[in-house]
Amino acid sequence: VVQLVESGGGSVQSGGSLRLSCAASGLTASTMGWFRQAPGKEREGVAGIASDGSTVYTNSVKGRFTISRDNAKNTLSLQMNNLKPEDTAMYYCAADQAVRASGWWLLWATTFTYWGQGTQVTVSS
């Protein structure tokens, strides 16, 4: 059974930091990513990491968020700094076994087969 379990969400003030983690089991994920969905909005790709470790970010988080992976532990992380109220959303970990190069497709939900249940991030002004 494939499972993706996120952790690390919470409530912070604007300018604060959080680190999200995702533990994957039941698969060896080649391509992984973080998505978010705010109430009343569509799910948005935040950051993706390809098989070779190359990364892609949506423009609104560039310079503030960093995606990383530990292949030995099969985990994915998202370090979020200088958080803003507009970052408030449910954050989801996603994974797929297909080997892909880095590109904008890593921010597309259709690229990924497996999804976690999400962890809430709330940023207050």
- CA distance to 49, 97, 112, 113, per residue, from 100 (Å): 9, 9, 11, 13
Angle value at C-alpha 49, between 43 and 51, nearest 5 degrees: 130
pLDDT digits (tens, 9 = 90+) for 102-112: 899 999 999 99
Do the Cβ atoms of 28 and 74 come closer than 8 Å?
Answer: yes
pLDDT digits (tens, 9 = 90+) for 4-35: 999 999 999 999 999 999 999 998 888 999 99
Q: What pLDDT is recorded for position 102?
A: 87
pLDDT digits (tens, 9 = 90+) for 74-117: 999 999 999 999 999 999 999 999 888 889 999 999 999 999 99
